[in-house]
C-alpha cells in the first residue's frame, strides 16, 4: 500500500512517515502544496491513500483536494488539520475529503483511520490485496508480484471470500455455504483441496503461506504477511 503525505512541517512529516513505514506502507512525502498536487495527479504513482495537511505553502490542502476530485480520482483523502471549528470540518469534507484528523493526534488514531478507509475503498473498488497478491474482482484478474496468475472459477471465488474477510477467521461451514453454495451438513474436505491449489499458485517459496490454517475452525488471511 502506497501513501502520499503532503505536510510542510518536517518534524511532523517524518514522525508520520516513519511510523507508517514501520507498519509496512510505502511513503512518498511532499513538503509544499504544488509538489503535493503534482505527485497526487501523477498517474504512474497510483496512491492508495493521501494524507493532506490543510495549511500548506503554495496551494492549500483544500485546493489540492478539490483538484484531485475534479480529475475524478477516488483515492481516499484524510485531512490533517489544526482547524477544529465545525464549519471548517464540514467545509473540508465537502471538498471531497473522506476523513480528517485534528493535530496533535495520536499515531494509533491516524493508523486506525487509515485502515478503515483502505478497507472500505478496497470493497468499493472490488480490489483486494495481501502481501504481493492483488485481486481485481471486476477485471477477474489475480496477480502475484505483478505477474498474472490463472485461477479456476472455484479458486477465484474461494480467494475472493478469504480476502474479503481478511483478518477474520473464515469458518469451514461459512466457506462451504458462500463459495460452494451448499447449505446442508456436508463434508468440507473439498475446501482443503482448493486451499492447497491456491497455496501452490500464490505462496512465496520458503515463506509462510498467505492463508493460515486455524485448526478445527477454518482459514484466515492475515492483514500483514
Residues contacting residue 22 through CB under 8 Å, at least 6 positions apart: none
Nearer to Ca ion, 51 or 68 (CB): 51
What secondary structure does DSSP assign to 167-183, as a single string? TS-EEHHHHHHHTT---
* Beta carbon of residue 130, minimum distance to Ca ion (angstroms, whole number): 34
Compare residues 27 and 170 and give the one whose CB is closer to Ca ion.
27
Q: Which stretch binds Ca ion (CB under 5 A): 5-13, 122-130, 184-192, 213-221?
A: 5-13
Of 5, 65, 11, which Cα lies nearest the Cα of 32?
5
Q: Which residues pair with 30 in a beta bridge?
A: 6
Considering only residues 23, 28, 34, 55, which one is a binding residue for Ca ion as defined by CB under 5 A? 55
Selection from 161, 164, 163 nearest residue 173 by Cα: 161
Residue 211, SS3 per DSSP? strand
Nearer to Ca ion, 53 or 165 (CB): 53
Residue 35 touching Ca ion (CB under 5 A): no
Supply the DSSP symbol for 144: E
Choice between 85 and 185, CB closer to Ca ion? 85
Q: Is the bond into 159 cis (omega within 30 degrees of 0)? A: no
Q: How many residues bind Ca ion (CB under 5 A)?
A: 3
Instruction: Give the number of other Cβ atoms within 10 Å of residue 58's Cβ.
Output: 15
User: Counting contacts by CB under 5 A, is residue 101 touching Ca ion?
Assistant: no
- In the complex with Ca ion, the residue whose CB is nearer, 64 or 158, is 64
137 binds Ca ion (CB under 5 A): no
Whole-number minimum distance, CB 53 to Ca ion, in Å? 4
Q: Please tell me whether residue 53 binds Ca ion under the rule CB under 5 A.
A: yes
Residues forming contacts to Ca ion in the complex (CB under 5 A) are: 8, 53, 55
Amino acid at each position: 500500500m502506497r501513501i502520499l503525505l503532503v505536510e510542510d512541517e518536517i518534524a511532523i512529516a517524518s514522525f508520520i512517515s516513519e511510523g507508517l513505514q514501520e507498519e509496512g506502507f510505502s511513503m512518498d512525502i511532499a513538503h509544499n502544496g504544488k509538489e503535493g498536487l503534482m505527485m497526487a495527479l501523477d498517474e504512474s504513482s497510483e496512491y492508495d491513500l493521501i494524507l493532506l495537511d490543510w495549511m500548506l505553502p503554495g496551494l492549500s490542502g483544500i485546493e489540492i483536494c478539490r483538484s484531485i476530485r475534479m480529475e475524478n480520482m477516488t483515492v481516499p483523502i484524510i485531512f490533517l488539520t489544526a482547524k477544529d471549528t465545525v464549519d471548517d470540518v464540514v467545509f473540508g469534507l465537502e471538498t471531497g475529503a473522506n476523513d480528517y484528523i485534528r493535530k496533535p493526534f495520536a499515531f494509533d488514531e491516524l493508523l486506525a483511520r487509515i485502515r478503515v478507509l483502505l478497507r472500505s475503498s478496497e470493497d468499493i473498488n472490488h480490489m483486494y490485496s495481501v502481501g504481493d497478491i492483488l485481486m481485481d474482482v471486476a477485471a477477474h484478474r489475480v496477480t502475484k508480484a505483478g505477474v498474472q496468475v490463472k485461477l479456476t472459477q472455484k479458486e477465484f471465488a474461494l480467494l475472493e471470500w478469504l480476502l474479503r474477510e481478511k483478518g477474520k477467521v473464515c469458518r469451514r461451514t461459512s466457506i462451504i455455504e458462500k463459495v460452494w453454495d451448499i447449505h446442508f451438513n456436508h463434508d468440507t474436505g473439498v475446501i482443503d483441496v482448493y486451499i492447497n491449489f491456491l497455496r501452490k499458485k500464490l505462496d512465496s517459496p520458503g515463506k509462510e503461506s498467505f492463508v493460515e490454517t486455524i485448526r478445527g475452525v477454518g482459514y484466515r488471511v492475515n492483514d500483514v504477511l
